[in-house]
Structure 1
């Protein structure tokens, strides 16, 4: 028995995470209602027994999904079993049996698993099936570091299924935007791409996919802000939208990234309004949340960045007890200095020293502030950072002025 075309169209390919994103719906009674629900990115409340495998796969119970297909001798069931639990022997057997789109989708799964070195040919595939095949070619282009070709292919794939499978198109558009960002950096076209993807996802139940889009859109706004308040506020809205879904226990990595970026966005805004003082307090809380995930052992670079930003926030946080905040900042800077290497990252090391020296000077602890500022100035001067060196010279002059007659302590 052979089969060349899929009996159910369209298929919810690419909408859900793998392996469910590769599963096929068979032509059984009740499939139309389940198909409609899945195409909207929703998990059906009730499935016919013949479609229980799909619900089980969506719930992450792969073994149970595989067992639910055991007695089904249809070609779709054979393909779905391969997607759930594959072997090279099964691939060789099924490839002799399958024809047309079913064989091409088998090859897509085999390429994804690593059984094939090259993506499958397009053949006579159409719509979402063709888009899925084109996605494998985009993956191949990225593995060869051919960003231009990958962008071209992703654009084609998104256009192919925008009408027939808008949720699949949305995820392709998100991948397209991320690929453009990785190869060309942030630009305003990425904002439009992410907004298009979010609009397509609007009525779906794909909350985590939507949250990831919001996070990436926030990063683009943030990168393009150049300190402009309007763009930073847009970034903040995006991060907050992402955090309405991402929680620390279930999504630690994106949660920490969104919290860290949210804190930094608030810190980057000029203090112009009374409400900005509240934003500084939110920045501190956000960075603390990020540091619940980031540790020196697990995420050294992210930890150092969040720790440094938290120290900066404490240094400028409006308070009735500024000395306490400054002391916290000094301690946080010291922790970062134990991680930062002067030989590996001299300018980064110097910036932390300068910030710590400034905090110590504001506390009036000039005997500790001066040597740190002098070391930072030496590093900046040695690396051609003239403006930074001059600004520290000004701080040192003020410190020396206030030190006279204070035995090393005074006020800046």
Structure 2
């Protein structure tokens, strides 16, 4: 028995061969069915089928604007094709890049501002993915995101605004901080995560909220600043916010990642000259960090993350040495 999607796919292929219908209508139908396959794919084959339908629609479409819209959708489908291996993945991404770059000037000239901005967003995603293998510049991805933000404002397009700022933050942090511009990028990454949190909240988007708070904590840890203690305390607060959602029962690996990150910042707090850990009303950061890395290590081991469990065991050994040295100096 054919599924509904299989029936729709066959109908689309039949429509493509129906010479009685105008080419524009046939292309439109193919694109709509391809979008349906792409939006909620149940298998990798459905993404591949969507790519095929977009390509058929592109061959049929008579007008430049329609072809640009189809090419833009085709670019997103190519981007979504599963990674069979690195070479095939890069090939699909480069094809997606070509389709998006072809569509963009036409949509800028003849389409809506939102259509062009959506292409800029997807262009940034493709460039960012290709930059990992040295096939594109991460700065070009950043520039595409910034252009998209001229249209996708927080007030009018909150979802796209949040996606763009999250991607911007990740892109800023991907560039090594080797000079003063690196310090600026780190600060911009923190600022972008904070912009996302103006849209993403604990009640409506709990998992996204936890992810962004975790990432914000990480960005605050690595940011070069003269306010080191303040950043470390802000990072702790961000991790604690993430842990309002992430629990060892419901999200054990995400929880383990966050408490491992929190342990790292607690170890840094021990080194902050401005913090007097001998005060009775303050907990001991090293002892707290040791408990967290042990808990994270146990969770990683239980869920098959052997490499991460080994890193936690190493961190626990280092903390134990630090505690021993501290006791020696105190005596």
Q: For 2:54, which of 143, 146, 154 is the aligned residue?
A: 154
Q: Which moved more, 1:228-237 or 1:171-180?
A: 228-237
Do structure 1's residue 387 and structure 2's residue 283 form an aligned pair?
no
Give the alignment of 1:194-209 within 5 angstroms.
194-204=100-110, 206-209=112-115
387 and 148 in structure 1: CA distance in 2 versus 1, 3 angstrom threshold: closer
Task: State the distance in 1 between where 2:185 and 2:328 align.
Answer: 35
409 and 274 in structure 1: CA distance in 2 versus 1, 3 angstrom threshold: farther
Task: State the distance in 2 between where 1:136 and 1:384 align.
Answer: 42
> Given that residues 367 and 409 in structure 1 are in contact (C-alpha distance below 8 angstroms), is that contact kept between their aligned partners in structure 2?
no
Do structure 1's residue 242 and structure 2's residue 138 form an aligned pair?
no
Task: State the distance in 1 between where 2:299 and 2:57 align.
Answer: 51
Q: Which moved more, 1:122-131 or 1:264-273?
A: 122-131
Bigger Rg, which one: 1
Q: Between Structure 1 and Structure 2, how many residues are aligned?
A: 292
> Given that residues 97 and 126 in structure 2 are in contact (C-alpha distance below 8 angstroms), is that contact kept between their aligned partners in structure 1?
yes
133 and 379 in structure 1: CA distance in 2 versus 1, 3 angstrom threshold: closer
CA offset at residue 157 of structure 1?
1.4
Give the alignment of 1:153-172 within 5 angstroms.
153-161=53-61, 164-172=62-70
> Given that residues 246 and 254 in structure 1 are in contact (C-alpha distance below 8 angstroms), is that contact kept between their aligned partners in structure 2?
yes
Alignment partner, residue 218 of structure 1? 124
CA offset at residue 229 of structure 1?
9.9
Give the alignment of 1:65-104 within 5 angstroms.
none
Q: For 2:200, which of 275, 294, 306 is the aligned residue?
A: 294
Task: State the distance in 2 between where 1:261 and 1:386 align.
Answer: 29
Runs (5+) with no aligned partner, structure 1? 1-117
Runs (5+) with no aligned partner, structure 2? 1-10, 84-88, 271-284
124 and 188 in structure 1: CA distance in 2 versus 1, 3 angstrom threshold: same
CA offset at residue 254 of structure 1?
0.4
Alignment partner, residue 73 of structure 2? 175
Q: Which moved more, 1:278-287 or 1:211-220?
A: 211-220
> Given that residues 210 and 243 in structure 2 are in contact (C-alpha distance below 8 angstroms), is that contact kept between their aligned partners in structure 1?
no
SS in 2 for 1:203: helix
Alignment partner, residue 278 of structure 1? 184
Higher helix share: 2
Deviations 1:73-106 (A, max 9, x none): xxxxxxxxxxxxxxxxxxxxxxxxxxxxxxxxxx
Alignment partner, residue 320 of structure 1? 226
Aligned-pair Cα RMSD in Å:
2.8
Deviations 1:200-235 (A, max 9, x none): 223235111011111112122223333859542222
> Given that residues 227 and 268 in structure 1 are in contact (C-alpha distance below 8 angstroms), is that contact kept between their aligned partners in structure 2?
no
CA offset at residue 404 of structure 1?
3.2
Task: State the distance in 1 between where 2:175 and 2:328 align.
Answer: 34
138 and 318 in structure 1: CA distance in 2 versus 1, 3 angstrom threshold: closer
Task: State the distance in 1 between where 2:47 and 2:143 align.
Answer: 30
